[in-house]
Structure 1
């Protein structure tokens, strides 16, 4: 299973389209972890599972999404409802409650990935307003029989090696 994960594009439409089109045909799913600042009928996010962030107003998107793709359970939320800027504990409880193998979130604009209690957590960062890393980022997660590989890319599509990680399934 391969999924593109992006977050916090904050109104970028053309730029978001470029990233999605770059990878659309090489992944099984496209996820946006909120703060797109787009509406559900925007053609840019056609085919993308999008959740609501704290800068997304209205009721266009759900607070979270749980998807089963090729036998892998993926939980997606923005993170503001789980206080992810301070701790990952509430998010971890929710991911475990949903029996997720992968939990995706945004909100902090800080690109990171880590594994805890058998769940791989992914924050793709922000393509528009990154923090703690000079380039805007997004990532692709590849879930295989024995490993989970999270590869980060900058907006131009160049691999960001220092952020990318591979995990062994627990």
Structure 2
């Protein structure tokens, strides 16, 4: 099973449509700050949340969704202090019994395995920050098997960045 995760495109709707056209996934999640509208065609069949820069009505604050046998929980992250640590987000993930936790907001890509939960921040597709900002904007693809989670990061041209591949045994 494959889960596509995008965040923080900040008004660049063209990149969202390009990624969706080029990548194949069983589920697509957008972690907020699209600066668009929930009625944009990109969001058809996509799970999405409100970011701190999303002002249109209709964006939920959080989503908890079954994908296959796994529970995927997503929020933007600003309400959980993810710029500082994942503690509050981890508590919420435990409350909803999430297997996979998706968030954005920091514009810094990252993967963590904590208390048998996979935490993924795909980075910002438009305005990356942090150690890997030299790559340009990024998004993530999570491949789930019976034995592991594989997280691959891609650049704006939908090219895999091999040095960022992470495999976590379940």
- State if a TM-score over 0.5 links the two structures: yes
- 1:99-149, CA deviations, whole angstroms, 9 ceiling, x for partnerless residues? 111000000000111101100000000010000222110011011100001
Q: What residue in structure 1 maps to residue 3 of structure 2? A: 3
Q: CA deviation at 1:158?
A: 1.2
Paired with 2:144 and 2:98, the residues of 1 have a C-alpha distance of 13
Q: What residue in structure 2 maps to residue 125 of structure 1? A: 123
Q: CA deviation at 1:20?
A: 1.2
Q: CA deviation at 1:43?
A: 1.2
Q: What residue in structure 1 maps to residue 39 of structure 2? A: 41
Preserved contact between residue 112 and residue 163 of structure 1 (Cα < 8 Å): no
Q: What residue in structure 2 maps to residue 22 of structure 1? A: 22
Q: CA deviation at 1:162?
A: 2.4
Preserved contact between residue 36 and residue 56 of structure 2 (Cα < 8 Å): no
Paired with 2:69 and 2:4, the residues of 1 have a C-alpha distance of 17
What is the TM-score with the length of structure 2 in the denominator? 0.95
Ranges in structure 1 where 5+ consecutive residues have no aligned partner = none
Q: CA deviation at 1:16?
A: 1.1
**5 Å matches for 1:73-152?**
73-132=71-130, 133=132, 134=134, 135-152=136-153
Q: What residue in structure 2 maps to residue 63 of structure 1? A: 61
Paired with 1:168 and 1:66, the residues of 2 have a C-alpha distance of 23
Ranges in structure 2 where 5+ consecutive residues have no aligned partner = none
